[in-house]
Amino acid sequence: MAGAAWGLVLGLGLASIWWSFWPRETGVRTRVGRRRLEILQDQVTLAGVRGLGPRTLIASCVVLALAVLLLGYAVTRVWTVSLCFSLIAGWLPLAVVLARARRRRSRLRDVWPEAVDHVRSAVRAGLALPEALVQLSDRGPEELRPAFAEFALDYRASGRFTESLDLLKDRLADPVADRLVEALRIARDVGGTDLGRVLHTLSTFLREDARARAELEARQSWTVNAARLALAAPWAVLLLLATRGSTLDAYGTPAGAVVLGVGAGLSLIAYRVMVAIGRLPEEVRVLR
Domain boundaries, the chain: 111-209
Taking the C-alpha atoms of residue 183 and residue 120, their distance in angstroms, rounded to an integer, is: 12
Residue 42 burial (C-beta neighbours within 10 Å; 0-12, 13-18, 19+): buried
CA proximity to 237, closest of 73, 222, 71, 229: 229
Q: Determine how many CB atoms are found less than 10 A away from the CB of residue 95.
A: 12
Instruction: Decide if 279 contacts 224 (C-beta within 8 A).
Output: yes
What pLDDT, on the 0 to 100 scale, is given for residue 23?
Answer: 55
CA proximity to 248, closest of 240, 176, 24: 240
Pinpoint the alpha helices (H) of 77-144.
79-124, 129-134, 136-139
> Could you list the pLDDT tens digit for every one of the 288 residues in the chain?
555 555 555 666 666 666 665 555 544 445 666 778 888 888 888 887 877 888 888 889 999 999 998 888 888 778 888 888 888 888 889 988 988 888 888 888 888 888 888 888 888 888 888 888 888 888 888 888 888 899 889 888 888 888 888 888 888 888 888 888 888 888 777 765 677 788 888 888 888 888 888 777 777 777 777 777 877 888 888 777 766 666 677 777 788 788 888 888 888 888 778 777 767 777 777 666
What pLDDT, on the 0 to 100 scale, is given for residue 67?
Answer: 92
Q: Determine how many CB atoms are found less than 10 A away from the CB of residue 277.
A: 11
Half-sphere exposure of 133 (CA within 13 A, CB side): 26
CA proximity to 51, closest of 178, 60, 107, 33: 60
CA distances from 144 to 51, 62, 168 (A): 19, 33, 11
CA distances from 51 to 45, 47, 254 (A): 9, 12, 44
CA proximity to 274, closest of 224, 219, 220, 203: 224
What's at 20, amino acid-wise? S
Supply the pTM of this predicted model. Answer: 0.75
Q: Which residues of 208-227 are buried (b: 16+ CB within 10 A; e: fewer)?
A: eebeeeeeeeeeeeeebeeb
Q: Determine how many CB atoms are found less than 10 A away from the CB of residue 33.
A: 10
CA proximity to 56, closest of 18, 27, 97: 97
What's at 272, amino acid-wise? R
